[in-house]
Amino acid sequence: MDMKSTLRGVGLAMLLAGLFLLGGCAGLGPQAKPRVSLANLQVLEIRALETVFLVELRVLNPGETPLQIRGIDCELKVDDRHFATGLSGDSYEIPAYGSITIPVPVYASMIDMVSSVVARLQQPAAQPGTIDPLRYELVGHVRLTGGIGGAGRTLPFASKGEFSLVGQHQQR
């Protein structure tokens, strides 16, 4: 056997081993993307230039394997306008076919909040004498542990719904 054919054989073996490892690692990750929705929103602190809210996110795992979450970030929009941004670096485990709520502090600029209220007051209601519900959109990323080199995966999420100003919350 000459040196050239030996190098080809080694190269082919390395290529097959690499493909096998990549295929095996891809199979170890979650098969289903987690679903994230807004579960609750409460005021934590009001300051001169910002308000701190606690957003509780409901995270559902529709997959057959537990999810190991190492962080989550989100942006909350109300009536198509930026409202608040937040993140949490806490770790959580969601069992297979299970769910948990994850508390995330979010921060809203008082200036943005006032401008949103002014813009809202300038819009006519759909029916006179009523107050239209507030539409919200929640977007962000769930960061999972594991993966090649422990880097994990980042999965985006989005959820929309409405807040009724009479205290009822609906989600789409």
Give the pLDDT confidence of 31-40 residue by residue, as tens digits.
578 999 999 9
Q: Would you call 23 helix, strand, or coil by DSSP? A: helix
Q: Would you call 4 helix, strand, or coil by DSSP? A: helix
Looking up tokens 């997959």 gives: 63
pLDDT at residue 2 in the model: 66
- In order of 56, 114, 129, the CA distances from 101 in angstroms are 6, 29, 36
Of 30 and 43, which is predicted with more confidence?
43
Closest CA to 160 of 172, 144, 142, 143: 172
* Cut 0.75: pTM above it: no
Lowest-confidence region among 12-16, 46-50, 103-107, 108-112: 12-16
Quickly state the pLDDT bin for 27 (edges 50, 70, 90).
very low
| CA atoms of 109 and 5, how far apart (whole Å) | 67
| CA atoms of 84 and 137, how far apart (whole Å) | 11
- In the chain, what are the domains? 31-171 (2.60.40.10)
Looking up tokens 């096998």 gives: 20
| CA atoms of 168 and 88, how far apart (whole Å) | 27
